[in-house]
Amino acid sequence: MSAAGLPAGAGPLALIAGSGRLPIEVATEVLERGETLVVMPLRGIADGDFTKLQTVPIDALDPVGAIEALRRMGARGVIMAGTVHRPGVGLVFKSWQAVWNSEVIRKVIEGGDDNLLRGVIGYLEDNGFPVMDLREAAPKLMAGVGLLCGPQPSVTAAVDIARGFEILETLGPADIGQALVIAALRVLAVEAAEGTDAMIRRVRTLRRPGLTGRLLRAWRPPLGDRTGGVLVKAAKPGQDFRADLPVIGPRTVRLAAAAGLSGIAVEAGAVLIVDRQATSAAAEKAGLFIVGAKR
Amino acid sequence: MSAAGLPAGAGPLALIAGSGRLPIEVATEVLERGETLVVMPLRGIADGDFTKLQTVPIDALDPVGAIEALRRMGARGVIMAGTVHRPGVGLVFKSWQAVWNSEVIRKVIEGGDDNLLRGVIGYLEDNGFPVMDLREAAPKLMAGVGLLCGPQPSVTAAVDIARGFEILETLGPADIGQALVIAALRVLAVEAAEGTDAMIRRVRTLRRPGLTGRLLRAWRPPLGDRTGGVLVKAAKPGQDFRADLPVIGPRTVRLAAAAGLSGIAVEAGAVLIVDRQATSAAAEKAGLFIVGAKR
């Protein structure tokens, strides 16, 4: 356990934990499979309750310390889960610049969000600790195939879902977003840098009376139809499933309901559903469907 | 001048005028070419100063009256220019349902904005009045090729422009929007139903400190680069140039400047620049370039 670049030991899996419920959910699934696991909560970032688990807190600003901790436990691999706000990632890189090639760092930072995470992953793997694909680390958290909860989609919704996935496929090479809202075959919003939540909120605004909403408010006056539509979310082509994969959760459902959508369609096996129970409950309560579809 | 479906006379061109500066600009260019023109301001909608021109006001809620007026003047064709707020269009159709096949009306309304206009155009043409392509009616209003005003784009901006048009091309078949914002090859926003103005405002929000803006605020902390980027706007494939073509104007420039963009790139010959003088002045003042590029 000394030289960098060598594979790590046969010890436990190490879960580097950011904020949110995801780390505890991943940890639970890994432990239920009978694997050994050490949670490494990021100090000041992780907010899960890990009291019943073996933990080794690490500091996002001390990459050398993190690698040393991984070496001490002979970790055979790393799982990354949870949110790390970008300011945090920025600081991380500032401090990591001292220990890693600054040319690489610059490239990583200039490349945007995806590259930031790829940089962290690269650093861990360069030091001999493979980072696991979350689909393998916690397969049960991924959306399955078929109707996952809520009512059966209408025919209109089913057509929207099919067309939505088709359009996301088209958007793939442009490396734009992973989600859109489509209603009666009309694309109401496409996600780029703003994130899925902000995109759904935009649809609500478009449909609400008000300055910006006036246009769509009167969009189909004789039919009075200001609701319906589906949030369609999929993985990007070339998605790195070792971190930051597409996620939906209870908040996604609540926002979709507020925007008048009839449901959510996600790529099965590629989109993670966080807090499954609360997500299903929110969907049932709002009468929204969630379906998983294979590409 | 009696039977519907017959070509109209050899009389003047008729300009059906909505709100905004565009109708008066189109009228000026048509008259400068030496053509005869009658402006038909939509009552309660048109707000231009047509006092020096020959006018026959019409009512958006009286399609029969509009057709009769066109017949009386023996109009040889119709030009449509200016904004008609959707509530207006909605009412139009409600009243037109009495005189036109309600199946057609329903289809038109269900198809969204584009189809609404196509419906009006279809109604006029079915009654024997061809609707002119605005590129032919007022070619000087369209963006030309090259640097139209402001400073030369940087190399980064030039690369963004090329990539932006490439991505819009990709989006074409999905029939989404006509515009996006791209900065250092990263797509910050894609326009769908919200319109270009709302999309540019979103980029400003993303870059501004605040709840929703936090993510991108810290996007590249070590470089501190929160400005730059280009608004790229083009016609959709299959764009109907008889009405509602892509437009930029002084407000577009002001919004782009507020969002920290370095310039605007439009498809030459396909995007209309309204209020050219004020648009150029705003761009020069903000140090923003406007370039036109042939596809």
What pLDDT, on the 0 to 100 scale, is given for residue B91?
56
How close is the nearest chain A Cα to the Cα of B222, in Å?
Answer: 7
pLDDT of B106 strictly over 60: no
Whether the CB of B294 is below 8 Å from some CB of chain A: the reply is no
Q: Match 């319906």 to its residue by tokens.
A: A228
Decide: A188 and A229 in contact? Cβ < 8 Å.
yes
Query: Within a 10 A sphere around the Cβ of B72, how many other Cβ atoms?
Result: 12
Q: How far is B201 from chain A (nearest CA, A)?
A: 11
Domain assignment of residue A5, yes or no: no
Identify the top-confidence range among A10-19, A61-70, A275-284.
Answer: A275-284
> Which whole number is the average pLDDT over A184-189?
90
**ipTM score:** 0.74
B97-134: b or e for each residue (b if 16 or more CB lie within 10 Å)? beebeeeebeebbebbbbbbbbbbbebbeebbbebbeb
CB interface of B with A, residues 231-260, below 8 Å: none
Q: Residues 74-113, chain A: which have Cβ within 8 Å of B? A: 85-87, 89-91, 93-94, 106, 109-110, 112-113
Instruction: Name which residue leads in pLDDT, A86 or B38.
Output: B38
Q: Which two tokens stand for residue A73?
A: 């436990």
Tally of structural domains, chain B: 2
**Once rounded to an integer, what is the mean pLDDT over residues B7-29?**
88
Cβ contacts of B113 on chain A, cutoff 8 Å: 219
Closest by CA to A194, choosing from B55, B128, B221, B190, is B190
Give yes or no: residues A165 and A123 share one domain. no
Residues B230 and B268 in one domain: yes
Which of A8-22, B148-162, B270-284 has the least mean pLDDT? A8-22
pLDDT at B170: 86
pLDDT in tens, B119-141: 778 889 999 999 999 999 999 99
Domain boundary (B83, B118, B137) is at B137
Same domain, A42 and A127: yes
The answer for A 141-180 residues in CB contact with B (under 8 A) is 167, 170-171, 173-177, 180
| DSSP 8-state code for residue B145 | S
Helix/strand/coil for B295: coil
> What φ, ψ does residue A266 adopt, rounded to 5°?
-125, 155
What DSSP line would sit under B173-237, residue for residue?
GGT--SEEEEETTEEEEE-STT-HHHHHHHHHHHHSSSTTTHHHHTSSTTTT-----EEEE-PPT
CATH number at residue B37: 3.40.50.20
The partner residue sitting opposite B193, judged by closest CB among A90, A189, A218, is A189
The answer to the question of residue A203 being in a domain is yes
pTM score of the predicted model? 0.80
Residues A288 and A154 in one domain: yes
Query: Does some domain include residue A3?
Result: no
Q: Are residues A208 and A280 in the same domain?
A: yes
One-letter identity of residue B206: L
Give how far A74 is from chain B: nearest CA, Å: 33
A122 within a domain of the structure (yes/no): yes
Task: Give the pLDDT confidence score for residue A221 in this predicted structure.
Answer: 35
Residue A276 pLDDT exceeds 70: yes
Same domain, B282 and B150: yes
B71 and B203 fall within a common domain: no
What confidence score (pLDDT) does residue B295 get? 78
Pick A176's closest partner by Cβ from B89, B187, B219: B187
Q: Is the dihedral of CA B139, B141, B143, B148 positive or negative?
A: positive
Q: Which of A137, A152, A176 is the endpoint of a domain?
A: A137
Greater confidence, A105 or B279?
A: B279
Range with lowest mean pLDDT among A19-23, A137-141, A144-148, B277-281: A19-23
Mapped to the 3 state alphabet, what secondary structure does A77-131 carry? EEEEECECCHHHHHHHHHHHCCCCCHHHHHHHHHCCHHHHHHHHHHHHHHCCCCE
Dihedral of CA B84/B86/B88/B92: which sign? positive
Domain contains B5: no
Query: Among the listed ranges A2-11, A236-245, B28-37, B67-76, which one has the minimum average pLDDT value?
Result: A2-11
CB contact under 8 A, B170 and A167: no
Pair A232, A179 in one domain:
yes
Range scoring the smallest mean pLDDT among A27-31, B5-9, B33-37: B5-9
**Cβ–Cβ under 8 Å, residues A231 and A265:** yes
Question: Is B222 in contact with A93 (Cβ distance < 8 A)?
Answer: yes
B163 and B213 share one domain: yes
Of chain B residues 180-209, which have a CB less than 8 A from chain A? 180, 184, 186-195, 198, 202, 206
Q: Are residues A206 and A258 in the same domain?
A: yes
Which residue did the predictor score with more confidence, A60 or B186? B186
Q: What is the predicted pLDDT for the residue at B226? A: 66
Q: Please compute the mean of the pLDDT values over residues A195-213 and round it to a whole number.
A: 76
The CATH number covering residue B249 comes to 3.40.140.80
A129 residue type, one letter:
F
Query: Is residue B50 in some structural domain?
Result: yes
- Give the domain range for residue A24: 13-137
Facing A222 at nearest CB: one of B93, B113, B220: B93
Query: Are residues A268 and A160 located together in one domain of the fold?
Result: yes
pLDDT at A106: 54
Catalogue the long-range contacts made by A207-211 (C-beta closer than 8 Å, 24 or more residues apart): A207/A259, A207/A260
Q: Identify the domain boundary among A104, A137, A170.
A: A137
Residue contact A219–B86, C-beta within 8 A: yes
> What secondary structure letter does DSSP report for A191?
-
Least CB–CB distance from A192: residue in B94, B184, B187: B187
Q: What confidence score (pLDDT) does residue A60 get?
A: 75
pLDDT value at residue A200: 96
Confidence at residue A138, expressed as pLDDT on a 0 to 100 scale = 95
The pLDDT tens digits for B145-195 are 999 999 999 999 999 999 999 999 888 877 787 899 999 888 999 999 888
Q: In this structure, are B186 and B115 located in the same domain?
A: no
In a domain, B86, yes or no: yes
Q: Please, what is the end-to-end C-alpha distance for chain B in angstroms? A: 42
Name the residue in chain A with its Cα closest to that of B166.
A174
Residue B3 falls within a domain, yes or no? no
Distance CA A161, CA A167 (A): 10
pLDDT of A234-267, one tens digit each?
Answer: 998 888 899 778 999 999 999 999 999 999 999 9
Q: Which residues contact B151 (CB under 8 A, 6 or more apart)?
A: B287, B289
Rounded to 5°, the CA angle B70-B76-B82 comes to 65
CA dihedral over A66, A67, A70, A72, signed as positive or negative = negative
